[in-house]
Chains A and B, each alone.
Chain A
Amino acid sequence: MSSLVESQASAPDVRAGLPTRRSSLARKQAIEGYLCILPWLIGFICFTLGPMVGALVLSFADYDIITPPRFTGLANLTRVLNDPLLYRSLGNTAYISLLAVPLQQSLALTLAMALNQKLRGIAFYRTVFYLPSQMPLVAAALLWLWVLNPDFGLANALLDKLGIPPLKWLFDVNLVKPSIVMITLWGGIGTPMIVFLAGLQGVPESLYEAASIDGAGAWQRFRNVTVPMISPVIFFNLIIGVIASFQAYFTLVYTTTQGGPANASLIYIIYLFFKAFKDFEMGYASPLAWLLCLVVLALTAIQFYFARRWVHYEGGERT
């Protein structure tokens, strides 16, 4: 009791001392926080930020790994502007991206909706549709090489049954990109499908019931209930899908076509790899890497800008 009186009596002093104690506590907590993230921070600085800064510096140099970098000013950047293969690879990447991302997302959403039904054995179907995405990319690529083999592949056997002449698929300059898109659809829809499925399961049933009572049909329920409710999920998948289309098709293309025939499937990331690790033009590969980073950043920023118009968050507008 006396201590209570004492403490009450000395309240102003205590308050006066609070900021000091609080800042000391905050400092301790901050130190603890930084220590906790230190392993990640070290990894980020050493393996991400460091190489990024290194690539930025090397953008102004000629460097082949063996000999020390030689400063070349803006030569690499000038070369970027005048490199026809660079534009070719950007065009190929854009083609594949524009075709693959919308198809992937719409197919994944369609599948997720189909697998969101209360059916017997639904878990089995979900597993079956998700499985291809778990197959190692190299194995999937080799598998598809056989499927699309012009002489004895399954695809042409099927076309033959339908009376359609065989196609050259990955060996045809006009078909190689659609063929790659087809392969990415097979292996690439599993993960977004699962994310969509999670989003769909978060949509309250009552909203559909209310919409039905108001006379909404299936399409209207999808358009006015499902899409707005899962719009953050669609947005997430879209962002990941676009980034992946610029970066993640390396293994597939490298294993199947290596950019051929006649550079028809030379995507940007393959071109970047060739420059860095086949031609050892690290100096030139550096601005290419930064260009890729900027393109992906710009596309992500554009998506974020337009997201304000169609992405709805339950707690109101996202800040």
Chain B
Amino acid sequence: MSDRLIVRTSRRALLRLVVGGAAASVLAACGGAASPTSAPAGAQGAAAKPPTEAAGAAAKPAAPEPRPEGTRPAAAAAATAPAAAPSAAPTSAPAAAAATTAPAAAKPAASGSAASLRVAYWSSSPEDHNVFENVFKAFNEKNPNIKATFDDVPSDGFDVKMQTQIAAGTPPDTMELHPAWVLRFITSKVLNDLTDRMKEDRSLYIPAQLEFWNYQDHLFGVPYYSGPSFIFYNKTLFKKAGAKTPDDYKAENAWTWENLRKAAKDVSGGSGADKTFGWLGTDFDNLQFYTCVPVWDNGGELINKDESAWLVDQPPVVEVAQMHADMTLKDKSIPLPADTQGVSWFFRTGRVGMAWAGKFRSLELVNADFEVGIIGTPKGKTGPVNRDGPNASGLPAGTKNVDQAYQAARFFGGAEAAPIYLASGRPVPVQKALLDSDAFKKSLKPYEKLEVYQESINSVRAWRVPGKGPEIGRAWKAEWDKVLVGQQDVPTAMKNAKAAMDPLLK
């Protein structure tokens, strides 16, 4: 009897322990889930204190309507004095000066404690991570009433993570935007409309850089990074082949897509591990990253004006596609995916004559064992017209501290962050005045040319793949793959691609 009692008692105790432990785990799990999305401890109080519209929005995270600043109630506007400051930057002052002074003027109302911001961006390397850290450290130093904490979210699935956080009502205060998916966020009305707020700042920026974040005449992003395309070439390889370099063609005013093909063919050859290729244009399967440029330069368009139908079966596009198919399959000057597999950037191997690139690639060439040249996009029937892969800061709806978040976003692409951000060597400036700034000039390696970057960014045409972007990309790639494996000719591929992609615009 007593044994039985003991057994029963100990089992109960055990059960209590198990249930208690489970309950504690559940509580801990719930608590743990909430913490990363909420502001740091010190920030909570500060975020909750000012009776701003932002705080109200945070309490209603599901409200998807972007809120134009003009709709701010007077009392709330008064409580958030800094809101007016960025837009109050003197428009008559030179652009760079305005960028420098405006954030200082935009100090938040003294509330006793710093407003906390969580700023979500992705870094591409440990060095890049440090650049972000330093930019926001500098921001915090300049703005003692704001504390921005850099949340380095991995780039793979960044949009999914942001989407989830927004849906959960715990968005960051500012987030990185990319043109490949920004439209989804805009049309879902989960980004703050920055049109009014940026009214005074618009003139600071290179127009195309704003256009990427514009939708139906409303602005949703504050630009901070630009990566217009241009071409790196391997001078050593050209010398070895005794071929005319892109700069030779340029000197003759003959730097055209036709001559790019010729130059590529001239330096292609060999076999096995010594095989060389003239043109790293394997991204023909990427409409936004590459394909659009030779098509535009050929006087064509990938899509009609109201973006309701693809024009990829039209002669200017078919011609360009045919040229790339011929370069790949006949000239063998463009490597196939199999040739470049497993290598992060094939140009770095020294086996490629010319490569389509962004400025960030320049850092990978510091220790290259070949001489590097740089040149802009070739001309076609028109152009050159260029593309870009820029980034901006967006303010998710439901963001706490909208005003301070805007300050941080504005700081990032401006003159104050330039000595850190532009000096990192990765971006091309997004503000006009910074294109000729010392910070940018100092970032250039000996093989980089300021005029190439200036020409590249000034010829950028803003374009985003509309509709169901990723699905359109896959449909296009599937048809292009069939060309590369010899399953269909180019005109058929273009017809099939149109048939597959048109329904995805709806």
Can you list 23 residue pairs at the A/B interface with Cβ under 8 Å? A35-B15, A36-B15, A38-B18, A39-B18, A64-B163, A65-B160, A66-B163, A66-B185, A66-B188, A145-B341, A150-B339, A151-B272, A152-B272, A152-B273, A261-B337, A261-B485, A262-B481, A263-B478, A263-B481, A274-B470, A274-B471, A277-B157, A278-B470
> Given B62, B164, B474, which contacts A65 in the complex, CB threshold below 8 Å?
B164
Chain A to chain B: the 5 pairs with minimum beta-carbon distance, closest first: A262-B481, A171-B338, A261-B481, A66-B188, A150-B338
CB-based contact A260/B478 at 8 Å: yes
CB-based contact A66/B166 at 8 Å: yes
- The tally of CB-CB contacts under 8 A between chains A and B is 93
Residues of the A chain whose Cβ atoms lie less than 8 Å from the Cβ of B474: 259, 274
Q: Within the assembled complex, what's the spacing in Å between the Cα atoms of A152 and B341?
A: 10
CB-based contact A36/B18 at 8 Å: yes
Q: Which residues of B contact A (CB under 8 A)?
A: 11, 15, 18-19, 22, 25-26, 62, 64, 157, 160, 163-164, 166-167, 184-185, 188-190, 272-273, 275, 336-339, 341-342, 468, 470-471, 474, 477-479, 481-482, 484-485, 487
Q: How far is the CB of B132 from chain A (nearest CB, A)?
A: 25
Residues of the B chain whose Cβ atoms lie less than 8 Å from the Cβ of A263: 478, 481
A42 within 8 A of B: yes
Of A65, A66, A274, A277, the most chain B CB neighbours within 10 A belong to: A66
Residues of the A chain whose Cβ atoms lie less than 8 Å from the Cβ of B22: 38-39, 42
Q: Within the assembled complex, what's the spacing in Å between the Cα atoms of A170 and B11?
A: 58
Residues of the B chain whose Cβ atoms lie less than 8 Å from the Cβ of A209: none
Residue of A nearest to B480 (CB): A262
CB-based contact B337/A171 at 8 Å: yes
With contacts A274-B471, A278-B470 known, what are 13 further pairs, Cβ within 8 A? Answer: A35-B19, A39-B18, A42-B26, A66-B166, A67-B64, A142-B342, A145-B341, A149-B342, A171-B341, A259-B474, A262-B478, A263-B481, A274-B474
> Given A145, A149, A262, A277, which contacts B160 in the complex, CB threshold below 8 Å?
A277
Residues of the B chain whose Cβ atoms lie less than 8 Å from the Cβ of A261: 337, 481-482, 484-485
* Chain A 267-303 per-residue mask, 1 if CB under 8 angstroms from chain B, else 0: 0000000100111100000000000000000000000
Q: How far is the CB of A280 from chain B (nearest CB, A)?
A: 7
Q: Within the assembled complex, what's the spacing in Å between the Cα atoms of A277 and B336?
A: 28
What is the size category of the interface that chain A forms with chain B?
A: 20 to 34
CB-based contact A149/B481 at 8 Å: no
Q: Which residues of A contact B (CB under 8 A)?
A: 32, 35-36, 38-39, 42, 64-68, 142, 145-146, 149-152, 168, 170-173, 259-263, 274, 277-280
CB-based contact A68/B188 at 8 Å: no
Residue of B nearest to A257 (CB): B337
Q: Within the assembled complex, what's the spacing in Å between the Cα atoms of A35 and B13?
A: 12
Q: Within the assembled complex, what's the spacing in Å between the Cα atoms of A172 and B185?
A: 37
CB-based contact A262/B485 at 8 Å: yes
Residues of the B chain whose Cβ atoms lie less than 8 Å from the Cβ of A67: 64, 188-190
Residues of the B chain whose Cβ atoms lie less than 8 Å from the Cβ of A280: 160, 163, 184
CB-based contact A32/B273 at 8 Å: no
Residues of the A chain whose Cβ atoms lie less than 8 Å from the Cβ of B189: 67
Q: Within the assembled complex, what's the spacing in Å between the Cα atoms of A262 and B487?
A: 10
CB-based contact B157/A68 at 8 Å: no
Q: Within the assembled complex, what's the spacing in Å between the Cα atoms of A219 and B190?
A: 69
Residues of the A chain whose Cβ atoms lie less than 8 Å from the Cβ of B272: 151-152
